[in-house]
Amino acid sequence: MCSAIALRRIKKWIVIDQDEGCLNRIRQKYRLAELETVHGSVADLLRNRIDLGPIDCFYSAGLFDYLSQRLASRTVAKMFDYLRPGGLLVISNFAADSSGRDFMHAFMDWNLIYRDEREMRQLTELVPKNHFEELRVWRDELKNIIYLSLRKKTSIQSG
């Protein structure tokens, strides 16, 4: 569905997951030379065990729902560190008032960490305020998912 991927406009596409099975599936489904898979966890990322160059866009869907507020804030700060000047970080989380929450809990035993808009904004608390220029929080069409995006400044003044 991403036209930039379909049109092969992305020079390098790095997929990180702690589950080797997910990475195998990605490799089988998308046989692209520009695709690189990295077997690693959030802990690996935070402990600098994953070697990533500067990134234009860091996109993370379906991960933050598993991370405590403190760990999630540290992860946001680490992902933001990897961005090139002008780069974009986009993350998502199921909303606290999402409509399928009780169903997921009762029938799928799927217990997530849900967040509201204020908690999503708080995830940027470890990113210095003068390092980003655009913070956006919005919901998907069905209002179940909250997105947070943060754009790194192109030049960062010290102090």
Ligand X SMILES: C[S@@+](CC[C@H](N)C(=O)[O-])C[C@H]1O[C@@H](n2cnc3c(N)ncnc32)[C@H](O)[C@@H]1O
Is the CB of 22 or the CB of 126 nearer to ligand X?
22
Taking the C-alpha atoms of residue 31 and residue 125, their distance in angstroms, rounded to an integer, is 38
Residue type, 83: L
Instruction: Based on DSSP, count helices (H) and strands (E) in the chain, helices before strands.
Output: 6, 6
Q: HSE-up of 158 (CA within 13 Å, CB side)? A: 0
Is the CB of 41 or the CB of 122 nearer to ligand X?
41
Is the CB of 19 or the CB of 125 nearer to ligand X?
19
Choice from 5, 18, 52, 113 touching ligand X (CB under 6 A): 18
By CB under 6 A, tell whether 140 contacts ligand X. no
In angstroms, give the least distance from the CB of 107 to ligand X: 16
Residue type, 57: C
Nearest Cα neighbor of 27 from 40, 14, 8, 18 is: 14
Q: Give the number of residues in contact with ligand X, rule: CB under 6 A.
A: 10
Is the CB of 66 or the CB of 103 nearer to ligand X?
66
Binding-site string for ligand X from residue 35 to residue 74, where x marks contact by CB under 6 A and - marks none: ------xx------------------xxx--x--------
Mode of pairing for the β-strands spanning 132-139 and 145-152: antiparallel
In angstroms, give the least distance from the CB of 60 to ligand X: 7
Cβ partners under 8 Å of residue 7, min gap 6:
none
In angstroms, give the least distance from the CB of 89 to ligand X: 15
Beta bridge partners of 88: 57, 151
The contact set with ligand X (CB under 6 A) reads 17-19, 22, 41-42, 61-63, 66
